[in-house]
Structure 1
Amino acid sequence: MCIRMIPPEDVSVGTISATQASPITTTQCTASSCPSTTTAVRVNPVIVSPAVRVTPVIVSPVTTATGTVTTTPVTMTPMLCTNCDIAAIAPVMEANTVFENTNTVGANGCTQTNAICRRTDDQVCTGVILSATNAAGTSTIFSAMNANQVSGLLTCQADGTYSSGSVTGITKLMCTFDTCVPPCATCDIEAVKPLMNPPDSSFDITGSTPDGQACKRYVVTCRNMIPCPAINLYAEIGTGGEQLIKTEENGATSASAEVDCGNDAKLTFMGMFPVSHSSRGKSLNALKLEEGIYQNLGFQVCTTCDIAAIAPVMEANTVFENTNTVGADGCTQTNAICRRTDAQVSTEVTLSATNAAGTSTISSAMNANQVSGLLTFQADGTYSSGSVTGITKLVCTFVTSVPPCASCDIEAVRPLMDQPNSYFDIIDRTPTGQTCKVYQVQCNYNGVSCAAVLLYATIRQLGNDIEDPIALGNDVEMMATELACGNDGTLTFIGL
């Protein structure tokens, strides 16, 4: 049984210390007038998020011997968001791959871990994915196309688990490497075709890779419908200029040469010099001179691209932006950006590209309001991004966009555990038709009325975390208050 007590003057909202319980006035009594007394006990504060920590404080009934009534301060619980163990969730790696991680300390003092899935050989994969498993299942949290590694930032939470964006309580990481081949199997032979053929002529490419060999080899051929005094096959090479790689004379109708895909993923002729890719704004050029020899078809200009021709159709409150730079090879590169113009945050923002093969995602971001991706102007007058070439249209997608004030993670402020004979409730009190979330948090003491029930929260003021009581009730079984999700996506108590 709890006996009603009159709390001391210094037990009130805004005046109680965050580190020590206020003393209760000593009262002398006799055995008949004071058979039992109560001692005010405050439960340990528990950190539950960098922005807000809610800690129930209950003055529970504790029977003591007849006589003086005193209080005992309880030691504060330290921050737990620095004790995450990345090894406990590290992925099982396949051959020739490695999982690496480096730790840093975030602005809120919590551990942040950069997790890296990486190949240890020189192979390149069509996709490298870092996934995370939690109670809800397995989700992709970071990915990269045409790469040999991917990395992403994980944040240590107050419950001792890692999170990434909306994926919380991570129990296992997984690294996936899709369709990995040596660089010498990835050359884009189509990119070095001449832009056009002279009249009555054709340009052919035939695969000639030996059986069982991974590195690609091709035969390139210039053909003419009528015999020519000479047919010269030239290549424009990466160092600049032209190189004669094959000549057929005396009434020839064709000239052929073999080109190999090198260990640097560049096409070469007899291993002597690289044949420039269209990704460098160059091409393998057939030339045709007087008396039936191939004339110069002209070198591809890779600076006259038109991003407006493939720009996406944007929905309300979004915008497509782009900035151009010049690559090391002199060709135009365009940074394409899909961005919201309001304050809303999307669960995922995706930049996709359409070409003859269909639509592919070229860049994505989770829990963001924008995404960007680098496009490269090609020798055929189209844009490309990684293995996605001949882009005819871009698409920006914003999935489940809500204002920041609708995105607060109320579960993150739940105490790590309930005190004996008590429990903690969260109730959504958002008014009908209102987007910004409002929650009621309450501490209940199992149907027993107590001298005092206090609810504490850790708030951020001037860059510092300060613990303060936010609700106090006397002679009650429970205490409740409301928290609102603010415009910055963090929970607040009456605006604090």
Structure 2
Amino acid sequence: MIPPEEVSISTEPPVTDTPITDEPTNACKTCDISKIAPTNPLPGTSFESEENIVTGCLTTTVTCKRDDGQICSSVAVQPAPPATSVNLLQKLYQMIPVLYQIRIENGCQVITVTCQRDDGLICSSIAVRASFKDQIGTVEVGSTTDSGSGFGLLECNSNGIITYNGADEITELFCEFVDCPPPSCTSCDLSTIASTVPPAGTSIIPQENTVNGCKEATITCQREDGQICTSVAVQATTAGGTSDIATDMSTGLATAQLTCTADGRTKITKFTVKFTNCAA
């Protein structure tokens, strides 16, 4: 008779060289920039990304660069230039409006996204809107009034998906530009032009008027102490430099007349005043 094989049953765990751990995966290391990177950069340009772990989470530096040796006055990571239509809901690259900033808060990524006008227009409202997974319609995730850009904050949550205020996964982003009128000769703002502090005993007095449907302004530089000068000049700084735009002789004041052009500009960036040989 052949004796039965001996069989032993043990309740001890198997011996293994692999460490046993119950530590969960840190999902803020799992975000994938390739899912939101542009797929069709312009000819002669490229989009690059470099990933690093910062404070336990993935941080990605993205770079837009020219590969043809050309030098640009500015290079930015941003959406295609928006159209000028009023109340336009403009669809951006999927999941990539302007990535102005990616930072780490509480160990996870926080992304600032921006919808921006590149044509200088000011809108009554600019909003960043988002579509969410399994939801119909869009939700505003950030907005700015009376500005040329609007901002929203998104998060990379513990499951490795981009969300807003802990809501469901964001699948697409949009920009909404509301009431962005083109500039005209009525839109110049004299208050945006800088001026130097006038000397003691003098003043600069601006005054705006509407003439033939367009804005005009007078800038008066005058003495407040009764002194008379051999000359008083109102000076203006433009892209071409600083020059006198009005001069009066043997008096205590000078007045310059400004006109707002059709593009909504005065072309002047700064006012100064010059009093020469003044005496009571």
| TM-score in terms of structure 2 length | 0.44
Asked which structure has the greater CA Rg, the reply is 1
| TM-score in terms of structure 1 length | 0.28
